[in-house]
């Protein structure tokens, strides 16, 4: 039986939250939330108090992503997982192609496999730790892949599959754990979707999608055809993208949103844009990830999971530990000292740490984290 390691105070980060989602929420955001307790918290989402916040979110996102002409910010309830189903219900016409390289991209593809009105999707699968992007395939009308596979810490390029646009196909990107932390050219996408509890430093429950005019037109066409006599496709109201678009244009959501989530997200967007926008946020995450990868490279018991190169994520960092350093024990000691959520993704089953270094995370805290891990491992070895 090992005794819990006590990390010296002077080594500890100021904030011990390093989760990949839910992720760190800054104190300034929580302060605004508290100041909102009489209004707009607890007031109608159909009135100006809440609608103004939704309008601000849509404006700030348009600025953050430098939206091309005609692109729209659309939102609704249910998180990114809900958007998997919205894409299947309203954006994929008949057949999709998926890049799959981890748990989240697998889940998205599974929804399309299970949808009875869609043809069997084409899956382009890569090993954990590698990036996956679908290849041009005849008859495919939607190409789908993750920008950042959160389960493995892998980034995939966001560039249209050559020939796909000319063939009238959409590009649908799951950007849940990187929207606001990785660079992106939105014109390379038709739907760039995410939920706010990761790089956006807010709470879960909401989905946001940046939609191109082609995606909006596709949703209208698919939903119209689903209402024709003899149609085999049913688009439930909660999965209707055209209903979400109509509501978003009025700065509302189809059904009641968590107002606290909207407030937190709005504050985060204002903070990022005031500090220099996406370039600034990207650089801050990259600085934090560099600290971790350099530490792991120099360590005699830790190794970056993803080889150096374009696939190695700069916002979700995965690090393998040697077999004689069980991650579960390291995590237990860290947690006892207030350093939380550095665990690897369960389904991968690797002896691994996974650290979310989103813009809310101070690189100085990341530096401190490396010293804390080293301290814990040194003490574990001394006890052994
Ligand atoms: C977290 C995550 C999801 C699921 O998000 P929810 O808001 O929990 O539905 C989907 N895709 C990726 C890449 C994620 O990181």
What residue segments make up the domains of the chain, in order of their start?
9-24+277-383, 28-272
pLDDT at 384: 85
Q: Which of 155, 154, 197, 151 is nearest to 176 (CA)?
A: 197
Write down the H helix ranges in the chain: 27-35, 48-64, 79-86, 103-114, 213-226, 241-249, 259-275, 277-298, 327-336, 363-383
Binding site membership of 104 for ligand 1 (Cβ less than 6 Å): yes
* Whether domain 28-272 has CATH 3.40.50.300: no
CATH topology classification for 9-24+277-383:
3.90.1150
Interacting residues of 362 by C-beta distance below 8 A, sequence separation 6+: 13, 14, 15
Q: Cβ(173)–Cβ(191) under 8 Å?
A: yes
Please tell me the number of Cα atoms within 13 Å of 28 on its side-chain side. Answer: 10
Please report, in range form, the residues annotated as the binding site: 46, 80-81, 104, 150, 174, 197, 255-256
Q: Ligand 1 mean position to 124 CA, how many Å?
A: 20
pLDDT at 347: 85
Whether a cis peptide bond, with omega within 30° of 0, leads into 97 is no
Q: Ligand 1 mean position to 62 CA, how many Å?
A: 22
Binding site membership of 105 for ligand 1 (Cβ less than 6 Å): no
Residue labelled with tokens 């789908």: 144
Binding site membership of 208 for ligand 1 (Cβ less than 6 Å): no
Residue whose Cα lies nearest atom 3 of ligand 1: it is 80
Binding site membership of 23 for ligand 1 (Cβ less than 6 Å): no
Q: Which of 94, 370, 363 is nearest to 222 (CA)?
A: 94
| Angle 314-186-225 from CA coordinates, rounded to 5° | 125
Binding site membership of 150 for ligand 1 (Cβ less than 6 Å): yes
Residue whose Cα lies nearest atom 2 of ligand 1: it is 176
Q: What share of the chain is helix, strand, coil (3-state, %, to 5)?
A: 40, 15, 45
Residue 236: CB atoms within 10 A of its CB come to: 10
- Tens-level pLDDT at each residue, the chain (384 residues): 578 999 999 999 999 999 999 999 999 999 999 999 999 999 999 999 999 999 999 999 999 999 999 999 999 999 999 999 999 999 999 999 999 999 999 999 999 999 999 999 999 999 999 999 999 999 999 999 999 999 999 999 999 999 999 999 999 999 999 999 999 999 999 999 999 999 999 999 999 999 999 999 999 999 999 999 899 899 999 999 999 999 999 999 999 999 999 999 999 999 999 999 999 999 999 999 999 999 999 999 999 999 999 999 999 999 999 999 999 999 999 999 999 999 999 888 899 999 999 999 999 999 999 999 999 999 999 998
Binding site membership of 176 for ligand 1 (Cβ less than 6 Å): yes
Q: Which residues of 202-232 are buried (b: 16+ CB within 10 A; e: fewer)?
A: bbbbbbbbbbbebbbebbeebbeebeeeeee
Binding site membership of 287 for ligand 1 (Cβ less than 6 Å): no
pLDDT at 1: 52
At 179, list the tokens.
């929207």
List the beta strands (DSSP E) in 129-264: 142-146, 148-149, 154-155, 170-174, 191-194, 206-211
CA dihedral 86, 149, 77, 43 (to 10 degrees): -160
Model-level pTM?
Answer: 0.98
> Is 28-272 the same fold as 9-24+277-383?
no
Q: Ligand 1 mean position to 354 CA, how many Å?
A: 15
């Amino acid at each position: 039986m090992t005794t819990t390691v006590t990390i010296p105070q002077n080594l500890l980060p100021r904030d011990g939250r390093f989760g990949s989602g839910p992720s760190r929420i800054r104190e300034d955001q929580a302060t605004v939330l508290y100041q909102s307790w009489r209004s707009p918290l607890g007031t109608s989402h159909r009135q100006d108090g809440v609608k103004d916040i939704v309008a601000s979110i849509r404006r700030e996102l348009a600025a953050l992503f430098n939206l091309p002409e005609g692109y729209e910010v659309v939102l609704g309830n249910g998180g990114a997982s809900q958007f998997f189903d919205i894409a299947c219900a309203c954006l994929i016409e008949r057949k999709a192609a998926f890049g799959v390289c981890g748990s989240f991209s697998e889940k998205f593809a599974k929804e399309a496999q299970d949808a009875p009105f869609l043809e069997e999707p084409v899956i382009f699968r890569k090993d954990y730790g590698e990036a996956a992007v679908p290849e041009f395939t005849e008859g495919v009308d939607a190409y789908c892949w993750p920008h950042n596979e959160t389960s493995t810490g892998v980034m995939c390029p966001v560039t249209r599959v050559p020939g796909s646009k000319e063939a009238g196909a959409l590009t649908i990107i799951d950007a849940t754990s990187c929207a606001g932390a990785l660079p992106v050219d939105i014109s390379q996408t038709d739907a760039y979707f995410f939920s706010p509890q990761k790089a956006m430093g807010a709470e879960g429950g909401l989905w946001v999608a940046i939609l191109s005019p082609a995606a909006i037109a596709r949703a209208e066409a698919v939903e119209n055809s689903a209402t024709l006599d003899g149609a085999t496709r049913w688009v439930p109201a909660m999965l209707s993208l055209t209903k979400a678009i109509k509501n978003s244009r009025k700065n509302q959501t189809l059904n009641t949103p968590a107002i606290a989530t909207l407030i937190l997200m709005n504050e985060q967007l204002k903070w990022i844009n005031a500090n220099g926008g996406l370039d600034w946020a990207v650089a801050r995450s990259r600085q934090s990830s560099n600290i971790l990868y350099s530490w792991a490279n120099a360590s005699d018991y830790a190794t970056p999971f993803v080889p150096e190169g374009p696939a190695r994520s700069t916002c979700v960092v995965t690090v393998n530990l040697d077999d004689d350093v069980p991650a579960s024990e390291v995590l237990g000691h860290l947690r006892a000292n207030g350093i939380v959520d550095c665990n690897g993704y369960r389904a991968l089953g690797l002896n691994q740490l996974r650290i979310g270094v989103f813009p809310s995370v101070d690189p100085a805290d990341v530096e401190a984290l490396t010293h804390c891990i080293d301290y814990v491992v040194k003490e574990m070895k001394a006890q052994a």
